[in-house]
């Protein structure tokens, strides 16, 4: 029975990811490998996906497949590059911290992935950037850099920004989907972010999900909120619906 269930799961996973095509590109001498999914019909626009701190994973691939089924081009960015993928959470924490600190390098990697999404066929006038956890931070950095996209969406991402950085006008619309009980984002960081949004004259919205902590869209995070990161099916479903409404608005 277990072997049968494993076979069924393997076949389903293979089917879901079948439309994902690996794409090789570069940042100088650093080789990068992203994945693209093209829509079976139509072209509603393009979604650039920035994965969590461990890099491209099954979760980001599943999101890309889901979006392509809805009629969008989807591209999963490779932020770290070949030879630099973290083997564990300790390495992931170190790498993600590097890019958060060296935000211009992070923005450059996002910009290169944006170009690959357009090269794959997405309409350059109808693109949104989304990110999860570390990728959520990246989505906000794309907005701060005024990447020429219609909007950005952060799912349980970090909101922090070095206060010494200048605040300038932000053009892309912003949606932040945030766990109301996320221990990784202190209230002071939330308040500073909201003030930044006001000062930058951004079109922004921030939605809180009750009983949700960090990583609330990640099914592999378990369900123990006391650990600070846990899956929340209700928050996952609601944030996805809010994301789809955002897409309808900014890409219309």
| pLDDT attached to residue 8 | 40
Q: Give the CA dihedral 136, 138, 142, 143, nearest 10 degrees.
A: 40
Beta bridge mates, 130: 49, 153
Q: Say if residue 249's pLDDT is above 50.
A: yes
| pLDDT attached to residue 16 | 53
* Residue range 141-162, pLDDT digits in tens: 999 999 999 999 999 999 999 9
What is residue 143's DSSP assignment? Answer: H
| pLDDT attached to residue 78 | 98
Count of beta carbons in the 10 Å neighbourhood of residue 136: 25
Q: Say if residue 17's pLDDT is above 90.
A: no
Dist. CA 161–CA 224, nearest whole Å? 29
Q: What is the mean pLDDT of the chain?
A: 93
Give the phi and the psi of residue 46 in degrees, each rounded to 5: -130, 145
In 3-state terms, what secondary structure has residue 196?
A: helix
Is 218 in contact with 229 (CB distance < 8 Å)?
yes
| pLDDT attached to residue 18 | 54
Q: Say if residue 197's pLDDT is above 70.
A: yes
Element (H, E) at 75: strand 73-76
| pLDDT attached to residue 2 | 43
Q: Say if residue 15's pLDDT is above 80.
A: no
* Residue range 73-125, pLDDT digits in tens: 999 999 999 999 999 999 999 999 999 999 999 999 999 999 999 999 999 99
| pLDDT attached to residue 123 | 96
Residue partners of 234: CB distance under 8 A and separation at least 6: 209, 211, 212
Q: Say if residue 126's pLDDT is above 90.
A: yes
Q: Which two tokens stand for residue 99?
A: 């890019």
pTM equals: 0.93
């Amino acid at each position: 029975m277990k072997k049968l269930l494993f076979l069924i799961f393997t076949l389903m996973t293979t089917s879901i990811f079948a439309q994902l095509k690996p794409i090789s590109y570069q940042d100088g001498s650093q080789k990068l490998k992203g994945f693209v999914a093209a829509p079976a019909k139509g072209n509603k626009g393009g979604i650039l996906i920035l994965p969590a701190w461990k890099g491209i994973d099954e979760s980001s691939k599943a999101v890309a497949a889901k979006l392509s089924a809805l009629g969008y081009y989807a591209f999963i960015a490779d932020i770290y590059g070949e030879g630099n993928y973290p083997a564990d959470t300790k390495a992931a924490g170190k790498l993600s911290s590097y890019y958060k600190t060296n935000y211009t390098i992070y923005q450059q990697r996002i910009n290169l992935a944006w170009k690959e999404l357009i090269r794959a066929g997405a309409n350059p006038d109808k693109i949104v950037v989304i990110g999860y956890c570390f990728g959520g931070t990246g989505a906000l950095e794309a907005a701060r850099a005024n990447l020429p996209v219609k909007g950005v969406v952060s799912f349980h991402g970090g909101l922090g920004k070095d206060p010494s950085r200048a605040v300038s006008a932000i053009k892309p619309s912003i949606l932040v989907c945030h766990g109301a009980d996320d221990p990784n984002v202190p209230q002071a960081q939330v308040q500073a972010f909201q003030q930044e949004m006001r000062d930058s004259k951004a079109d922004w919205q921030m939605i809180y999900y009750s009983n949700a902590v960090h990583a609330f869209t990640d099914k592999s995070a378990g369900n123990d909120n006391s650990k600070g990161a846990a899956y929340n099916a209700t928050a996952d479903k609601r944030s996805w619906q809010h994301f789809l409404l955002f897409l309808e608005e900014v890409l219309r």
